[in-house]
Each structure stands twice: as structure tokens, then as C-alpha cells.
């Protein structure tokens, strides 16, 4: 199917202050959802009229057509602030980075195992990392 993804980035240096501001934006389609149901050979034999080939004990069947259901859309914004300080021939540039500015917690991977007897289907396995701040210094001499 058709997958939509939007990304953007930009940077700007504030004149006279020598402050660099930059940021990135990312918007991805959610994870593809599936409902993988494990069918035993005995259950398959009822509809096939024979056991599974090769004495296979069970087979996994996706109950949802691939590419038809997706999880929540992921939106992520990252920013960086940096100040340029020139000293003689050297240059010091302190930096502040902020990842996942809006602290989104979208599931990027979910449990696709379906079973009518339990509720683990679509339980998040991996979520987008939380907001993170980082300080750094770039020194050139």
C-alpha cells in the first residue's frame, strides 16, 4: 500500500548574537498491525480434510489483510540551540539538544499474536523514547 512519511529540517543563525537554532520534524505512519493466530494441525485438519503437510504441529495465520490496519501515527520534533564564541583563532560552541520535544509515547512495535483466550494482542512492546536533553561543547583550535 501507500505509506506516508513527512520529514523536515531547518536551521537559522540569529545575527549579532551568533546563536544557531535548528530543528527537525518527523511524521511517520504507525506500525503495521496484524492478528497472527496459531492454528493447530488438528484444527486445520477439520477444514482441510487432512493434517498439515510435513507433520507440522501448527501454523500461524494472519487474520487481518496485510497493509490495511496501522497503529497511531508518530510525530517527533527535535531542536538544538548553540552559541558560537570566538576566542583568538579558536572557537567554542556550547550546545543544548532536546529530543522528542512534545514527549510523544507512540508504540512503534506491538504484539501481533492474537488469541481469543487472552488480551495480549496489540500490547505495546516498544514505544518512542521519552524526552531527552543533552548538553555538549564543540571546541575548535
| Spatial separation of the C-alpha atoms in residues 43 and 26, rounded to whole Å | 45
Q: Is the pLDDT of residue 102 over 90?
A: yes
Q: What is the pLDDT of residues 50-96, one digit of tens each?
A: 888 888 898 889 999 988 888 899 999 999 999 999 988 999 999 99
- State pTM to two decimals: 0.75
The pLDDT confidence band at residue 98, using thresholds 50, 70 and 90, is: very high
pLDDT of residue 1: 63
High-pLDDT (> 70) share of the chain, %: 99
Instruction: Give just the sign of the alpha carbon dihedral 39, 42, 48, 53.
Output: positive
Write out pLDDT tens, residues 16-27.
898 999 999 999
- Residue 106: count other Cβ atoms within 10 Å of its Cβ: 16
Amino acid at each position: 500500500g501507500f505509506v506516508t512519511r513527512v520529514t523536515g529540517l531547518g536551521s537559522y543563525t540569529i545575527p549579532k548574537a551568533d546563536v544557531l537554532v535548528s530543528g527537525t520534524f518527523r511524521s511517520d505512519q504507525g506500525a503495521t498491525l496484524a492478528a497472527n493466530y496459531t492454528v493447530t494441525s488438528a484444527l486445520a485438519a477439520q477444514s482441510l480434510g487432512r493434517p498439515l503437510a510435513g507433520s507440522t504441529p501448527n501454523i500461524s495465520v494472519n487474520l487481518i489483510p496485510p497493509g490495511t490496519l496501522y497503529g497511531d501515527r508518530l510525530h517527533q520534533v527535535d531542536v538544538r540551540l548553540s552559541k558560537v564564541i570566538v576566542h583568538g583563532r579558536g572557537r567554542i560552541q556550547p550546545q543544548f539538544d532536546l529530543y522528542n520535544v512534545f514527549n510523544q509515547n507512540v508504540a512503534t512495535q506491538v504484539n501481533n499474536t492474537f488469541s481469543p483466550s487472552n488480551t495480549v494482542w496489540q500490547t505495546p512492546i516498544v514505544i518512542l523514547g521519552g524526552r531527552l536533553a543533552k548538553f555538549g561543547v564543540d571546541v575548535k583550535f
